[in-house]
Structure 1
Amino acid sequence: MSSSHFYTPLQTSRTKELRLVTLLPAPTKDATIECTLSIGNLEDRQLHYEALSYEWGDINSPKHEILLDGQPFTVRRNLWQALRCLRTEFAARTLWVDAICINQEDVLERNHQVGMMSSIYTFASSVRIWLGERGGNSREAILLLHEIWESFREVSRPSKEVVEKKKAPRKKLAENAEPATLTGSRDSFKKLSVFPIHRGEPFESSRELLVQERRVGWWNRLSLRSEPVAPWEGVAALVERTYWSRIWIVQEYLLASETVVQCGWDYMDGKRFDEAVSIVGELFELRKADHRQPAPLIQNCLERIAKSPGIKIPRSRVSDNQRTLLELMETCRTSKSCDPHDRIYAILGLADDIPPAAILVDYERDIFKVKVDVAWWYSTRSGLKSHPASVSRVCSLLDEIFVDCEDEE
C-alpha cells in the first residue's frame, strides 16, 4: 500500500519547508510507538528539532508498525528500535527522520529535501547518532570512553600550564608539572600493564615533556582497565559497526553543531565521544612511535580501532579541516548507499570548494550523466584547468565509486 496518503505536499518552490515528526511519550517501553507529522520551515529561526542519523538497514530486515497520525506506518527494525529508545515517559520529542519526514515515493520532493540535507543537519539543535541496539559489550565500551575522556580532561589541565610556561628552563617545567601526570607514583607503575613506561629518557624539548606528561597520564589511568578486556573489545566493536560505512552519515555527523552518540539505552555527549575515540587512536600511534607493546589482547583491540571506519569521522570532526569534493570522494569511495546517486549527493553539502548549485540533485538522472556532471565541473573550474592529473584522478574515482552499488545501506 502506498504511503503517500500520509503526506500533505510541501511547497518545494523557493522554500525551505520540511516535515517534522513528533514522538509522543508513553508510560512503558513496550507501548506502541505513536507519532504525528507537522510542517516547518528552516527559515524560521525559532524552529527546534533533533535530527536522527542512523542506518536504514537491509531492505529485507524485519519491519515494525508504528502509528503515524493514528494510522499504521511501516518502518524497518533499526529505526523502530531507535524511536523506542528515544521516547520518553512524559515529554514529546520533535525529530527529523528521513524515512518518515520525506515522502520517499515522490521523486521531486526527495530531490528538494536531499538538496536541503546539509541545512537540515546544520540547523538541528542536536543530532542523535544512533549506532543500533545494545550488544557486543557496548555498555562497557561507552563507560570506558567516558573514563578515557575524563582522564584526558584531567591530564590536559596541567598540560596547558606547561604550554604557557614553555619558555621556562626544563628543570623549572618539571618542578611545575604535577607528579602524578608527569611520572606517576611508584604504585601506578607497578599497576601499569597496558603499556610499559620507560623512565629516565632525556627530554629534547618542552614539547617532548608535554607529550610524555600526557602519555604517562593517559596510560597510568587506562592501565586500570587493562583487565578485563571486554570494555576495549566493546570499543572496537562499536567503531566497527556498519553505521560507520554509510555514505550519508559523513555529512550528518560532520555538519551537526551538537551530537549525542547513542547505542541502545546508553548514550554519550558527541564531543566527548569524538575526543575519546581520537585519544584511543593516538594511543595506538604512540605505541608504534615508541616501539611499545601493550598486553596482546589490548593491542589487538587498538589495532582494530585504528583501522576501523568509525575512527575516521570522529577524528575529522575534531580536526575540523576544510574538505574538497575530491578529498571526500577519496575518503568515501567504499561507503555504502541504497541509491547509487547518493555516492555523490551525500557529500556535496560537505565540499568547501563547490558552490551549492554547481551539481543539482536529481534522482531521475542517469548515473552516467551524474558522473559527467562531476567530471565536467572539475575539468572547467579554473583551479584544475592546468592540472590534468587531478581531473584524471576524479574520473578514476568516479569509475571506482560507481563500479558496484549494492542495494544496501
Structure 2
Amino acid sequence: MSSYQYTPIDSHELQIRVLHILPRSHRATCYTPQLDGLSDQGYSESSHHDSRVSCTLHVVSLKDNPEYHALSYCWGDPDLSRAKILLDETEIEVTTSLEQALRTFRHESIPMVFWADAICINQNDPDDKAEQIKLMRDIYTCASFLDVFLGGGTTETDEAMDSTLTIGQAAFDAGIFSVTVDSMRDCEFYIREDHEGYGFNRPKLDDPLADLKRSLYELAMDIGFNFPYLGWYEIGKRDY
C-alpha cells in the first residue's frame, strides 16, 4: 500500500487508526462518515460485487473510549490473492480475505467503524508497526465488538451456522448454564463406565447428578443426535 499516505500517530497518546467502511449507498464526493449507529448489527453479505469497497481512515485515541469493531480474520497469502479497495479515494491492494470481510460487514446505509490490522497499521513503516503492536492488547480490549470472519459463506456453511444457533438455543433451554466444572468432572466416572452412549445420561432417582444428566439428555434428544460427552468434559474444565 505504498501509494497511500498515512497520517502519523502518537502511540504514547494511545492513538490508533480506525477504518470507516462506507455504506453501499454512499457518494464518495459528498459523504461525511458518522459514528452513530455503530451498534446496529445489520450486516449483510453480498453474493456479487455490486460496487467496490470504499473506506476512510481516521485517527482516534483509546483515551477517548472510541466505539469500533475489532476485526479478526485469516490474512491468507498476500502474494497469491489480492483485491482492490478505495481508501480515502486512493486505490490500494489488500488480501482477498480482507476485502471479503469488509464487504461482508459493510452496511446498506450507515458507516461501520472497524479496526483491521493490515490497513490501520502502516505495514511499510517498521516504527509504526512496532508501536502499534504494543497496543494490540488494548485495541482488542477496548473494542465495542470483536468480529471474526471465517471466509465467504456457502450453502453448507450457512446450514452449519443455522444448526449451531439451533443447538445453542436447545442447550440454553435444556439448562446447560447450570453445568459446573465440578459436575462435569464427576461425569468422567460415568463416561468411563458406560459404553452405551447416552445411557449414562438417564437420571436415576438416587442420582446426585440427576439434574445435570436430565439437561444433557433432553438436549441430545431435542437436537436428534448423540452428544460427544468427552467433549462436554473438556468444556466443563473451563472457568465460567
- TM-score bin (small chain): 0.7 to 0.9
SS in 2 for 1:43: helix
Is the 8 Å Cα contact of residues 61 and 77 (structure 1) preserved in structure 2?
A: no
SS in 1 for 2:16: strand
Aligned to 1:319: 238
Aligned to 1:2: 2
- Quick check: 1:284 aligned with 2:228? yes
In percent, how many aligned pairs have the same letter? Answer: 29
Is the 8 Å Cα contact of residues 203 and 211 (structure 2) preserved in structure 1?
A: no
Q: How far apart, CA to CA, are the structure 2 residues paired with 1:215 and 1:31? A: 47
TM-superposition CA deviations, 1:269-308 (whole Å, max 9, x none): xxxxxxxxxxx9xx3235899xxxxxxxxxxxxxxxx9xx
Amino acid of the structure 2 residue aligned with 1:11? D
- Quick check: 1:40 aligned with 2:60? yes
TM-superposition CA deviations, 1:199-256 (whole Å, max 9, x none): 87745533x2022202211111111xx5xxxxxxxxxxxxxxxxxxxxxxxxxxxxxx
Q: How far apart, CA to CA, are the structure 1 residues paired with 2:85 and 2:100? A: 11
Q: How far apart, CA to CA, are the structure 2 residues paired with 1:16 and 1:201? A: 55
Q: How far apart, CA to CA, are the structure 2 residues paired with 1:200 and 1:214? A: 10
Which residues of 2 match residues 154-173 of structure 1 at below 5 A?
154-156=173-175
Aligned to 1:210: 211
Change in Cα spacing, 1:201 to 1:19, as seen in structure 2 (3 Å) is closer
Q: How far apart, CA to CA, are the structure 1 residues paired with 2:201 and 2:228? A: 20
Aligned to 1:57: 76
Q: Alpha-carbon deviation of 1:22?
A: 0.4
Amino acid of the structure 2 residue aligned with 1:284? P
Q: How far apart, CA to CA, are the structure 2 residues paired with 1:138 and 1:77? A: 19
Moved over 6 A (4+): 198-201
TM-superposition CA deviations, 1:288-347 (whole Å, max 9, x none): 99xxxxxxxxxxxxxxxx9xxxxxxxx59x9358xxxxxxxxxxxxxxxxxxxxxxxxxx
Which of residues 98, 107, 118 is equivalent to 1:88?
Answer: 107
Aligned to 1:11: 10
Which of residues 30, 38, 44 is equivalent to 2:50?
Answer: 30
Amino acid of the structure 1 residue aligned with 2:156? N
TM-superposition CA deviations, 1:149-184 (whole Å, max 9, x none): 111111118x86xx9xxxxxxxxxxxxxxxxxxxxx
> Higher relative contact order by CA 8 Å / sep ≥ 6: 1 or 2?
2
Using the size of structure 2 for normalisation, the TM-score is 0.74
Q: Alpha-carbon deviation of 1:133?
A: 1.1
Q: Alpha-carbon deviation of 1:101?
A: 0.4
Change in Cα spacing, 1:11 to 1:218, as seen in structure 2 (3 Å) is same
Q: How far apart, CA to CA, are the structure 1 residues paired with 2:166 and 2:217? A: 16
Q: How far apart, CA to CA, are the structure 1 residues paired with 2:156 and 2:79? A: 26
Amino acid of the structure 1 residue aligned with 2:53? I
Change in Cα spacing, 1:152 to 1:84, as seen in structure 2 (3 Å) is same
Q: How far apart, CA to CA, are the structure 1 residues paired with 2:171 and 2:102? A: 33
Aligned to 2:183: none
Aligned to 2:165: 146
SS in 1 for 2:74: coil
More helix by share: 1
Q: How far apart, CA to CA, are the structure 1 residues paired with 2:16 and 2:201? A: 60
Amino acid of the structure 1 residue aligned with 2:229? E
Q: Alpha-carbon deviation of 1:62?
A: 1.6
Using the size of structure 1 for normalisation, the TM-score is 0.45
More strand by share: 2
Amino acid of the structure 2 residue aligned with 1:39? V
Amino acid of the structure 2 residue aligned with 1:150? Q
Q: How far apart, CA to CA, are the structure 2 residues paired with 1:202 and 1:132? A: 46
Q: How far apart, CA to CA, are the structure 1 residues paired with 2:107 and 2:97? A: 18
SS in 2 for 1:137: helix
Aligned to 1:20: 18
Q: How far apart, CA to CA, are the structure 1 residues paired with 2:93 and 2:205? A: 63
Is the 8 Å Cα contact of residues 69 and 114 (structure 2) preserved in structure 1?
A: yes
Q: How far apart, CA to CA, are the structure 1 residues paired with 2:120 and 2:143? A: 14
> What residue ranges of structure 1 are gaps of 5+ in the alignment?
164-194, 227-279, 290-305, 307-314, 322-409
Which of residues 121, 124, 135 is equivalent to 2:154?
Answer: 135
SS in 2 for 1:319: coil
